[in-house]
Structure 1
Amino acid sequence: MDEYSNRSRLRYREKRKKTNIILNSLIAIVILLILVVGFSIFAGNDDAAPKNPDKTQAGQKAGSPDKNSGNNGESGGQDSTHGDGTDDKSQDDDESETDEDTGDEEGEPVITEGGSSPNVKRTIENQDWKPVGTSQTGDHQVVVDSSSPDWDEMHTALAYAIGTDKNNMTTWWLERDKSKEGGAIGTVTAKGSDQAYRVYIEWVDGEGYKPVKVEELYENDKK
C-alpha cells in the first residue's frame, strides 16, 4: 500500500513538474512577444521623428532661412521677397508711384446754391477739369455743326462734365457762348435720367474743349 502511494505521488509530482514547465514556457513566449511588439512600436516612432532635432533647432535659432517662408532669414535693413515675386522695396516704389498718380486725380468740386437763372438748382465748378483732347490743328473757330470735328469733341467734353459717356447722353441744346470767345453751352441729360444740366465748355488751343461750369437745373428748359 505504501509502495502504491509513493508511486502515485511520484507520478503526480512529475506531471505537475511538466505542467509547470509548459506554463513557464508559455509565459516566457508571451513576454517575448510583448517585448518584440513594443520594440517594433518604439522603433517606428523613432524613425518618424527628426533624425537630428537639435541641429534643426540650432539652425533656426541662428537665423537660418526657412525655405517655406518668404524672408531671407536676416533681420533689419534687408529687403524681403513676397510670394508674388516682389520685394518690399519694389512694393514701396509701387505705392509711391500710386501716391503720385493720385495727385493727378480731380480735386473736390466747388458747389454753390443757385446760378445764372432761377431754374438753376446749384452750380458745380472744378478747377481740375482738363481738356478732352483734339485732332484739330491751326486756328480754331467754334462750329456748332454735326458734320464738323467740333461737334464730336464738344459732346465728349459735355459728357465728361456730367460724368457719363457721350454715347449715353442726350443733347437737347448746343450753341456758341456769345459771352466768351471759344466757348459753347449745351443742355444735356444722361440717358435714363430726367436730371438736366446746362454745361459750359471752352476751347484750349492744342488741347481741345474742357468743362468750365455745370448748372444743375430744376427742369429741362430745352425739352
Structure 2
Amino acid sequence: MNQSKGEKRMKHKDFQFNGPSRSNQRAKRRKTNLILNSLIVIVLLLIIIVSFSIFFSNGDKATEKVSDQNIETNAKDKEDEANASVEEEETNNTDLEEEAVETTTPVDSETESDDTVTENETVTEPESEDIVTEGSSDPNVKTTITNPDWQAVGTVQSGEHVPVYNESSTDWQEMLKAISYGTGIEQSNMTVWFLGRNKQGPQNQSVATVTTKDNSQTYRVFIEWVDNQGWKPIKIEELYER
C-alpha cells in the first residue's frame, strides 16, 4: 500500500516535470509559425508591389509609344496635305496658262504694255496677194484667207516657249500683234472675244475670235509660234457671226 502511494507520488512528480516542457514547446511552435506566416505575408506583399510597378510601368511606356506614333502620323498627314495643296496650286496655275482665255466681257486691245515692244517695230507686208476661198465645211465661215508670205511679227522672248494666255503677258501682246497683222485690223479697233490654244492643231498653234469695234467684221484667226521669230498668222476665216 505504501509502495503504491510512493509510485503515485513519483508519477505525479514526473507529470509536473514534463508538463511545463511541453507547454514551452507548443509556445515555441506557435511563435515560429507566427514568424513564418508573417514572412510569407511580407513576401506576397512584395511580389504584389513589384508586379504592380512592372505592369503600370509597361502601360505608361506603351501609352507613350502610341502617343509618339500618333504625333508622327499627324505630322506626316499635315505634311502630305501641305504637299498636296502645293501640287494642286501648281497644277491650277499650269491649267490657267494652258487653257484659253474666254471672257463674258470682250477684251479691248487699244494699248500695249511698254514691256511688250517687240524687236521688229514694223512687219514687211506680204509680197503676194491673199488667197481667198469662198465658203467652207463650216456654214458660219464666209471666206477663208491664207498667204504663204505671211511673216512672224518678232519677239523679245527667248529660250523654250510655252504659250501664256494672260492679258498682261508679253506673249499675249505679241499674239495680238500677229492677229492685227493678218487681219489688217488696228489693235485700237479690235475686240478680242476668244484667244487660246488651237486644240485641233499642234501645241505651238493658237486661235482667236476677234471683231472690229463696230462688229462689222468678224474673224477667226489661226496663228503659229516660230522659234526666235514670234507668232505669225497661218489662216484667217471671215465669219458670218462670232
Name the TM-score, length of structure 2 as normaliser.
0.46
- Runs (4+) of structure 1 exceeding 3 A deviation are none
**1:104 to 1:214, Cα distance in 2 relative to 1, 3 A:** closer
Shift, 1:185, TM fit: 0.3
Alignment equivalent of 1:110, drawn from 126, 131, 134: 131
Shift, 1:116, TM fit: 5.2
Matched, 1:139 2:160: yes
The one-character-per-residue Cα deviations of 1:7-46 (angstroms, maximum 9, x if unpaired) are: xxxxxxxxxxxxxxxxxxxxxxxxxxxxxxxxxxxxxxxx
| Greater helix proportion | 2
**1:155 to 1:119, Cα distance in 2 relative to 1, 3 A:** same
Alignment equivalent of 1:150, drawn from 171, 177, 186: 171
Shift, 1:105, TM fit: 4.3
Task: Give the residue type in structure 2 aligned to 1:182.
Answer: N
Matched, 1:189 2:214: no
Shift, 1:104, TM fit: 6.9
Matched, 1:172 2:193: yes
May I ask how many residue pairs the two structures share in their alignment? 118
**1:217 to 1:104, Cα distance in 2 relative to 1, 3 A:** closer
In structure 2, stretches of 5+ residues that fail to align are: 1-123
Task: Give the residue type in structure 2 aligned to 1:132.
Answer: V
2:94 paired residue number: none
RMSD of aligned Cα (Å): 1.7
In structure 1, stretches of 5+ residues that fail to align are: 1-102
CA distance in 2, matches of 1:202, 1:156: 12
1:160 paired residue number: 181
Matched, 1:214 2:236: yes
1:17-96 pair list within 5 angstroms: none
The one-character-per-residue Cα deviations of 1:41-73 (angstroms, maximum 9, x if unpaired) are: xxxxxxxxxxxxxxxxxxxxxxxxxxxxxxxxx
1:32 paired residue number: none
